[in-house]
A = this chain, B = another copy of it.
Amino acid sequence: MNEFELIAQLTRTLPFNASVIAGAGDDCAVLKAIEPGRLLLLKTDAIVEGIHFTKECQPEQIGHKALGRCLSDIAAMAGSPLAALITLALPQDFDPEFIQRIYAGMSQLAQQHAVAIVGGETTTNPERMLISVCLLGDVAADKCILRSGAKSGDAIFVTGELGGSLAGKHLEFEPRLAEAQWLAGHFAIHSMIDISDGLAGDLRHLLQAGVVGAELMASAIPISKTARTQGRAKGKPPLLGALSDGEDFELLFTVAGRDAVPLLDGWKKQFPTLRLSCIGRITSTPGLKLRDKTGIRTLEAHGYVHFA
């Protein structure tokens, strides 16, 4: 199968939605203008064989991950995804069935979130597969949540459980789109980010953007079962995994302290099966601190330092 035959096959059954005027097959994709009062969101993200996935992964999961990462970024701004373009850079000896299954995984996740796949391209990368996704979304102008709004006294929340994602979750995580839209629709969320580099690293992004600090409560950080198992097996403290392992793709956000309890109550009714944890508070003093039963200490870059 040559490149043109592959493209013909891949583009035959792409998911679409009402925003699409012309999808794959012209010089550009053409989309309807968004409604007045909304803003456009634009994001690209690439995954590379041997780094973000291997040939041993299920191809459907590779596709899921490629699109899911971009969806998670749209979620982090409380946006809605609209349309995606897919760039496949492939070695000459690509297996068409493997590529089709990558597309199937991507298409399934796209359909689940009403995202149209409106084209893309294939090109050559001789040594390894690289998949780049470009995603267009939108958000109500008064609901868009940036990284920069954290204020001293804010409560810090995180969805789900953290750590050990590379054991499997990184290939099958669910982008928190509905959750983020509900949050932005019901509370004044001050700042939000999705966790891709690890809790400590991504919290630092919020702190730097808001020029604030944070104090985390060690006992409140939701540690995944995987991180606990890995802790027993490898002697790595589970809390360290939760703080520094990447690719959790959970939401990390801050709200005024007075909103913390109503938010937790509302969340439990709305999303009874997804854990939400209040893990600390924003401080006016810069720096990231961790409080546990032995006292309070400064977390250095990525949380690695000071852990035995």
| A contact set with B: CB distance below 8 Å | 21-22, 25-46, 48, 50-51, 73-74, 76-77, 79, 83, 85, 87, 89, 118-121, 123-128, 130, 132, 134, 136-139, 144, 146-148, 192-194, 209
Contact = CB atoms under 8 A, between A and B. Distances in A.
Contact of A28 (B27, B48, B74, B120): B74
A42 to B, nearest CB: 5
B128 A44 contact: no
A42 B37 CA distance: 21
Nearest to A43: B28
Given A33-B33, A127-B126, A193 B27 contact: yes
Task: Give the copy number.
Answer: 2
B85 A27 contact: no
Contacts of A40: 30-34, 40, 136
Contacts of A51: 123-124
A48 B48 CA distance: 14
A84 to B, nearest CB: 9
Contact of A33 (B34, B73, B85): B34
Contacts of A118: 42
Contacts of A192: 27
Given A31-B39, A134-B134, 9 more contacts: A26-B147, A26-B209, A27-B194, A33-B33, A40-B40, A42-B136, A48-B89, A48-B125, A89-B130
Contact of A26 (B33, B126, B146): B146
Given A28-B41, A28-B73, A137-B28, A46 B83 contact: no
6 contacts: A26-B148, A26-B209, A30-B146, A33-B34, A36-B36, A136-B136
A147 B121 CA distance: 17
Nearest to A137: B28
A50 B126 CA distance: 10
Contacts of A124: 48, 51
A73 B27 contact: yes
Nearest to A40: B31
Identify the interface centre among A31, A34, A40: most chain B CB within 10 Å of its CB. Answer: A40
A128 B91 CA distance: 13
A72 B83 CA distance: 21
A37 B194 CA distance: 34
A146 B21 CA distance: 11
Contact of A146 (B22, B35, B73, B83): B22
A47 to B, nearest CB: 8
